[in-house]
Amino acid sequence: MTYRNLLATIALAVAALGVGCSPANATAFAGVDTAFWSLGFNQLYDPSTGIFGSNILPDGIDFSCAALCSDTIGLSLFNTHQGYQTKSLYVRDFFTLANTTDQTFQISIDVGTDVSAFNPGGSDIGASVSDSYREWASFSSSVDGPDPIHDHHSCFTGAEGPAFAGVPSSCGVPAPDDSPGEAIWPIPGPGQTELFEVDMGIELQTYSPLPEPITVSLFGAGLVAMVMLARRRR
């Protein structure tokens, strides 16, 4: 093989290495703008008659939350040529219904609730990739509390999901997504307190291939330089 042919072969090899690395704009994304829950006392309810009553709690009956009777979380992850990445966020809230008297109440409380684990009124994309064959992304979000405070969503897209050649792939949940509801909880017995917990969580995972290490490019350039130097000496 002549030096000219050898030089051309090495140049083609270096170019092939360059083609093999990820495109400059490759980005895997996963995120949940908003997951939330909320509730509020509406009125008293008599289960024996089915009649709703006053919107004022009796003396000695306390319905309260650790902070506000609502909470919101959000999380996002952008991955550009960083291999595998993951993020997660978990929050636990609680509220109580207490009877501080020595009386037994035959009535219950009626509360209004609302819950969403994914972007109510916001973006309907929870995971997306710009290179459908080489990247992937996924999200999972949940809100769990007393009925009816429950909602779960998740999706996976990209290299192992529903990819389409040359078209960015994405998945999510059609927005808006929230679920108003209503619950009836009995008042606890004398001197008793009932504790309610609400757990919210978001898990994000993305993979975008690492770029070609610079040492490989330098090694290829060094080979080319050596061939040119040898040719000059000849």
Where on the phi/psi map is residue 21: left (φ > 0), alpha (ψ -120 to 50), or beta? Answer: beta
Token duo for residue 71: 């909470």
Per residue in 130-164, pLDDT (tens digit) is: 988 889 999 999 999 999 999 999 999 987 655 55
Q: Is the pLDDT of residue 168 over 80?
A: no
Q: Is the pLDDT of residue 171 over 80?
A: yes
What pTM, to 2 d.p., does this model score?
0.78
Per residue in 179-225, pLDDT (tens digit) is: 999 999 999 999 999 999 999 999 999 999 987 665 445 545 555 55
Distance (Å) of CA 79 to CA 86, 136, 207: 10, 10, 7
Count of beta carbons in the 10 Å neighbourhood of residue 116 = 26
Q: CA–CA separation, 227 vs 225, rounded Å? A: 5
The torsion angle over the Cα atoms of residues 217, 219, 223 and 224, rounded to 10 degrees, is 20
Distance (Å) of CA 91 to CA 14, 37, 154: 50, 12, 18
Which residues are CB-contacts of 42 (< 8 A; sequence separation ≥ 6)?
55, 109, 110, 111, 112, 182
Three-class SS state of 83: strand
Per residue in 67-93, pLDDT (tens digit) is: 689 999 999 999 999 999 999 999 999
